[in-house]
Chain A
């Protein structure tokens, strides 16, 4: 795999006045890797993407995309990168075929090549039915617009693809379609993919490595499996009808486990071989008249990693996938 498909950031900072949206981050995305950039709203994920895609300048620090410096070689970065920003950027009065043809032509294809490429992309993102091709983009659903936006980023067959929250607001079926396409691009074309997301499940599904960003800094980075294994143990998750009961349960059970975390009405109890102590947990709760509403046994997930790193669960506000007005 060519080293030219790497992304390297070194002490990258972006300040707005006194506020550091991105605060001295360094990372390396290997060629052909899917790199998941996770974090809650306002963590600095999109700001990082706007710098790497040359839409904004870093306050300090350096980065290269495909070997090109994002500050001094912006045109080269744009030529080898495909970008799907958080906000879909499409002209609602045009059709998907028109938009993709223009996009392809601007990257140097002749009229016929551009039209062929547009049809190929429409087939890839499953928007190639005649009725859909002729319909103005303004009449597409949110999921269709997202898929078309992804196709726009692929028009010039980029070496590196930036996807900034590509599935936010999509229904589960559309989300799975995008995931399948991202996987195909990575596996079949060897494309390096920088993926920001608020969905832990998405990162777990797609990313070879992830970084969790909190308040402008990278809090932890690694392979999802390694991060989950680092938590070391299974967990028993006990949910109560109120937060006070959960807090009392935490105090009662803490001595039995390696680690205990309280998340509103839920207590997470971590221990190797946690399954064997479930009866003891139930007994102890009965003795103290603490009645759980549910009790589950789980192996560590990225949610646990996120909770461990940030001290909070990630909040996903799922929007409706409605056609535009």
Chain B
């Protein structure tokens, strides 16, 4: 056997930090494009979200469409415009799972380990699938708004309002995707990741889902007031039904960033746990 005369630690070379590496933003863009590309190559994961989204919109509008005639606070408003932001939130819960599933697929196929052996920035590894899932959500939102317009919706704030709704759906999508990515990294399991999206469903109902916040009372009103989703839905309703309100919009943006901050931190700690060498 070859004898090793010197302990390796005595021979180590100085780290070389000046080697070129891909800029962070370019890494995020590349990983987002990759996730989008693979998502559209496997559309089975995208289509159900869109159809469920449309289904909810038709059902709620069909069964509660005349509620604005008798519910205080909704007089003169479109119930379609009132319920559509909730439909977007429901869609974001389903679509966020795409990000987690994409991570699970990489883990199962061994590609995730291959990426970990490259100098990729860990944030880019997370943000790629998260942003990609939120882009898909924006696309779904655009289609749902288009269908709602055909059903008679006339957004109060016009095209800028719809654009604001799309920005909110983008941010909400990123926030929810962070959670499914975290679960994917923690478990490496497709089933657990799929289930993770549903954990947020109760949260989406603990809001002023079907009636205005002013009509809620007791514990459910308290829960709705604490729930960040309430503020995102409020902003969507404002741009579609009542017009611009800067305070509501700022509250919605803060809610998105708080939710996103929490889920992204969870995803990042989960990635560190997975990438930690044992």
Contacts and interface: CB of A to CB of B under 8 A. Distances in A.
Contacts of A93: 37-38, 41-42
Contacts of A107: 21-22, 118-119
A320 interface: no
A90 B111 contact: yes
A105 B7 contact: no
A63 B277 contact: no
Of the four ranges (under 10, 10 to 19, 20 to 34, 35 or more), the interface on chain A belongs to 35 or more
B8 A10 contact: yes
A283 interface: no
B118 A28 contact: no
Contacts of B117: 53-55, 78, 83
Contact of B113 (A69, A89, A94, A136): A89
A106 B1 contact: no
Chain A's interface: helix, strand, loop or mixed, by majority? Answer: mixed
Contacts of A8: 4, 8, 11
Interface in B90-120: 105-106, 109-120
A190 interface: no
Interface in A1-55: 4, 8-10, 26-28, 53-55
Given A94-B38, A105-B22, A89 B111 contact: yes
Interface stretch (B12-20, B171-179, B260-268): B12-20
Interface residues of B, number: 40
Contact of A218 (B1, B19, B111): B1
B34 interface: yes
Nearest to A70: B8
B11 A89 contact: no
Contacts of B21: 107-108
A91 B118 CA distance: 15
A256 B116 CA distance: 59
A72 B8 CA distance: 12
A74 B277 contact: yes
Interface string B1-39: 111100111011101100111100011001000100110
A87 B107 CA distance: 12
A66 B13 CA distance: 8
Interface string B112-143: 11111111100000000000000000000000
A221 B38 contact: no
A316 interface: no
B8 to A, nearest CB: 4
Interface string A138-166: 00000000000000100000000000000
Nearest to A87: B110
Given A28-B2, A53-B117, A54-B117, A136 B41 contact: yes
A285 B4 CA distance: 49
Given A76-B16, A78-B117, A94-B37, A85 B2 contact: no
Contacts of A83: 114, 117
Interface of B: 1-4, 7-9, 11-13, 15-16, 19-22, 26-27, 30, 34, 37-38, 41-42, 105-106, 109-120, 277-278
27 contacts: A8-B8, A26-B3, A26-B4, A55-B117, A57-B277, A64-B13, A67-B13, A73-B12, A76-B13, A79-B16, A83-B117, A85-B110, A85-B114, A90-B114, A92-B109, A93-B42, A94-B37, A103-B118, A105-B22, A106-B22, A107-B21, A107-B119, A108-B20, A152-B114, A218-B1, A221-B1, A221-B2
Leading 6 A-B pairs by shortest Cβ distance:
A89-B110, A67-B13, A108-B20, A64-B8, A89-B114, A106-B118
Interface of A: 4, 8-10, 26-28, 53-57, 62-64, 66-69, 72-76, 78-79, 83, 85, 87-94, 98, 102-103, 105-108, 136, 152, 211, 218, 220-221
